[in-house]
Amino acid sequence: MRKLVLITGGLALVLVAGFLVAKRPSRAQSSQAQVPDQVVYRHLFHHVAALKKKTEEVEKDGKDATQFRTHFQRKASLTDDEARALDEVAAGYAQQEALLIARAKPFVEGKAQHHHAVRQPRLDKLRILSPSRAAE
């Protein structure tokens, strides 16, 4: 009888645990809900630009690039005007991003140079701080 109670209790515990795990959102679902809008749009606009580049490459080879050109229009059921607006906004984003990167580059490089210069250890100061090692 005790064995039957243990088995029944164990099965109930497994079922409850399985139910709780099934109800808990997965890491992918919870992290997806926490992605900021600007990150989502950045990836979207980069994807639009990548497909545009792929379209140009395929057409340059003389092949049909319709699948690349109309990808987002088909997937999101966009009208021609909406698809055109998406392309224009993505191109404008790429332009603005390039300008920001160009403006920030001198500051980032300057900070990196300063950061490395500050980080260089001075051996004479190390010897002062550790006289026992200086004798070695």
Arithmetic mean of pLDDT, 4-21: 52
Note every long-range contact of 13-18, with CB atoms under 8 Å and residues 24 or more positions apart, other chains counting: none
**Which pLDDT tens digit goes with each residue over 32-53?**
568 999 999 999 999 999 999 9
Give the sign of the dihedral formed by CA 62, CA 64, CA 68, CA 73: positive
**Which pLDDT tens digit goes with each residue over 59-104?**
999 999 999 999 999 999 999 999 999 999 999 999 999 999 999 8
Of 91, 109, 136, the C-alpha closest to 83 is 91
Comparing 6 with 124, which gets the higher pLDDT? 124
Percent of the chain with pLDDT over 90: 49
pLDDT at 110: 79
pLDDT at 107: 83
| Domains in the chain: boundaries | 1-34, 37-108
Taking the whole predicted model, whether its pTM rises above 0.75 is answered as no
Tokens 């049909």 belong to residue: 64
Give the sign of the dihedral formed by CA 125, CA 128, CA 131, CA 135: positive
